Amino acid sequence: MDSPGQLRVGLLGYGLAGAAFHAPLIEAEPRTRLEAVVTGSAQRAEQVRREHPDARVHARAEQLFERAAELDLVVVATPNSSHAELARRAIEAGLPVVVDKPLTPSLEQARELIVLARERGVLLTVFQNRRWDSDMLTLGGVLEAGELGEVHRFESRFERWVPTPKDSWRDSGGPEDAAGVLYDLGSHLIDQATQLFGGVESVYAEMRTLRSGVEADDDTFVALEHSNGVLSHLWTGKLAAQCGPRFRVLGDRGAFTKYGTDPQEAALRSGGLPGDPGWGVEPAKTRAVVGVGSETRSLPGEPGRYQDFYAGVASALESGSAAPVAVEDAARGLAIIEAARRSARNRSVEKPVDHGVSAAES
């Protein structure tokens, strides 16, 4: 049953991002409803009709934009190479936009979208859901309480064991497609590091392609030197038969170590929703430990809250509050990604260049 005053959302794309993340979270937020979905796949169209029977289904983006007046928000969850064009069309139609990460394949495209959104006076934000991971929230609380003292090193990993490549643009595409693990999981690693420890002065990266038949990077390491002196070491790859700690944070008073990944993605993919019993709660066996040497304590995790993203979007549209993710943050993340690509190519240490992103804020 629709509620009066709900924000009507059009969703572009119904692959993993659209079906498992955006559609369920849109429906879980009381102030939003899924009005329309665009997918060119007949199989996915039937999936939409089963899972969201009240939503219209379009085969082409043009059909959605022809009925732009019937929408209050557009979500772009299509392959990365189409993000810039579809977001631009939504902005030109006067519609607020959520774009799945990464915002665009290039920083220059991101800057153009930021400028256009400001000119048209519409909301533009990016789905960086892993800001609301259980372990990210838990670590944020530990840092805020000063339990580790002055942090000097942050280690973070998103590793997978996928030895057989999938027939997907993520493995076969190039930088123009924003393919590979640096653009994919690396976008989350970089966003989390900069949220926790601020701006970045220099970037060093190693990028490799290990699996046969793959064109894009599938094993990448990035080192960031933050302006406050913290060093972030970030790993992401698809050929990790044993995974390292999700987080390892070293300070002059103690350390924080955490294994395992946030449970919300697995829950969403299996049909779970925010509000279900135990939503976002990690099992006791993967709790973080805090302390020095053998003098450590197990720390119950803060429940993960992916639902906070669309709650923040709804509040921003209703009251003009800040977007849940500043689009400039996403652009700075792309500046770091581009610096990492230069570093890996040139075997050099690089400085992120914002190409006028800061100027776009004013």
User: Strand ranges (DSSP E) for 29-123?
Assistant: 32-38, 56-58, 73-76, 97-100
- Rg of the chain over all Cα atoms, to the nearest angstrom: 20
Percent of the chain with pLDDT over 90: 93
d(CA 25, CA 67): 23
**How high is the mean pLDDT of the chain?**
95
- Reported as a single tens digit per residue, the pLDDT across 52-91 is 999 999 999 999 999 999 999 999 999 999 999 999 999 9
Distances from the Cα of 257 to the Cα of 142, 150, 193, 235, 248, angstroms: 12, 16, 15, 15, 4
- pLDDT tens digits for 205-214? 999 999 999 9
- Tokens representing residue 269 in the block: 């993919």
Query: Superfamily for 7-129+309-324?
Result: NAD(P)-binding Rossmann-like Domain (3.40.50.720)
Q: What is the pLDDT of residues 245-276, one digit of tens each?
A: 999 999 999 999 999 999 999 999 999 999 99
Q: What are phi and psi of 280, to 5 degrees?
A: 75, 5
CB 197 within 8 A of CB 249: no
Say what the pTM is.
0.95
8 A C-beta contact, residue 6 and residue 33: yes
pLDDT-based confidence at residue 323 (cuts at 50, 70, 90): very high
User: Rounded to an integer, what distance in angstroms lies between the CA atom of residue 362 and that of residue 357?
Assistant: 9
Can you tell me the mean pLDDT for 229-255? 98
Report the CATH fold assignment for 132-305: Dihydrodipicolinate Reductase; domain 2 (3.30.360)
Domain boundaries, the chain: 7-129+309-324, 132-305
Q: 203 pLDDT exceeds 50? A: yes
For the cut 50, the answer to whether the pLDDT of residue 1 exceeds it is: no
In percent, the amount of the chain with pLDDT more than 70 equals 97
* Inter-residue contact 174 to 215 (CB < 8 Å): yes
Sequence-distant (6+) residues with CB within 8 A of 101 are: 126, 127, 128, 187, 188, 191, 330
Packed helices 327-346 and 107-120: angle between N→C axes, nearest 10 degrees: 170
User: Each residue of 160-202: pLDDT tens digit?
Assistant: 999 999 888 999 889 999 999 999 999 999 999 999 999 999 9
